[in-house]
């Protein structure tokens, strides 16, 4: 495609050159860079650590500690991912519709997960932990599937399928082991692919 250098403002463009210029500019500005590596790595790592520590706290019968631990982990992970996302967005010098949809989808999923977990914590008799974790896994799996179709990464689509399988396993195992299934899912389907994606994204940005 012919490059239109705009230094010479006075020289006029023909109608087809003007249409070509419009198409070229639209194509350029629609390019969106979606990075998932850092967020997957942080969430995967934090949730895996949280799950392991929760089992340890439970064996010490320190149940208040579990609540405090999850509050600290969720807030820290959210702030870390948010600040990294903002920095990445500023480096792009623009915001596209795809970036906006992607961010809002994940914020919605995060809010839904937090609300479900609070509901499960407040009414354990009516909403079992296995059920809450299954819903959480379905939400995460669905968000990963949509992200996979936006980024065209096969690994993200595979991760989403594994999350859906995890959401079924959570309901089949004894309630004591259901957090362990989700912990394993976050380690295998978020943390490890997150490291791979983060390394790949850093390589591409260089």
Partner 1 sequence: MQENENNPYNYQNFDEVLSSRIRLAALALLAGCDEAEFTYIRDVIQTTDGNLASHLRKLEECGYVEYQKRFVDRKPATYYRITQEGRSALLAYSRRLTELLKNSESLGGMQHENETVKGQKP
Going by C-alpha positions, the residue among 163, 116, 113, 156 that lies closest to residue 138 is: 163
Instruction: Check: CB of residue 45 under 8 Å from CB of residue 198.
Output: no
Q: How far is the CB of 2 from partner 1 (least distance, A)?
A: 13
Least distance (Å) from partner 1 to the CB of residue 34?
14
Nearer to partner 1, 29 or 205 (CB): 29
Nearer Cβ to partner 1 (12/126): 12
Least distance from partner 1 to the Cβ atom of residue 169, Å: 40
| Interaction site with partner 1 (CB under 8 A) | 4-7, 9, 12-13, 15-16, 18-19, 21-22, 25-30, 90, 93-97, 99-100
> Length of the chain, please?
206
Q: Measured from the CB of residue 5, what is the shortest distance to partner 1 in angstroms?
A: 5
Nearer to partner 1, 100 or 123 (CB): 100
Transcribe 18-51 into DSSP letters: HHHHHHHHHHHHH------HHHHHHHHHHHHHHH
Which residue in 54, 36, 64, 60 sits closest to 151, CA to CA?
Answer: 36
């Amino acid at each position: 495609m012919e490059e239109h250098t705009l230094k010479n403002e006075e020289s006029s463009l023909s109608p087809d050159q003007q249409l070509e210029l419009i198409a070229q500019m639209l194509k350029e500005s629609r390019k969106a860079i979606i990075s998932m590596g850092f967020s997957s790595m942080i969430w995967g790592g934090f949730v895996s650590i949280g799950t392991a520590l929760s089992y340890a706290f439970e064996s010490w019968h320190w149940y208040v500690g579990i609540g405090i631990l999850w509050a600290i982990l969720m807030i820290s992970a959210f702030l870390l991912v948010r600040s990294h996302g903002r920095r990445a967005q500023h480096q792009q010098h623009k915001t596209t519709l795809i970036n906006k949809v992607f961010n809002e989808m994940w914020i919605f999923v995060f809010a839904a997960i937090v609300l479900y977990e609070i509901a499960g914590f407040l009414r354990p008799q009516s909403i079992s932990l296995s059920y809450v974790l299954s819903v959480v896994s379905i939400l995460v799996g669905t968000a990963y599937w949509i992200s996979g179709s936006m980024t065209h990464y096969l690994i993200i689509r595979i991760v989403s399928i594994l999350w859906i399988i995890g959401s079924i396993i959570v309901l089949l195992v004894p309630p004591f082991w259901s957090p362990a299934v989700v912990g394993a899912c976050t380690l295998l389907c978020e943390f490890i692919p997150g490291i791979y994606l983060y390394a790949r994204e850093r390589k591409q940005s260089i």
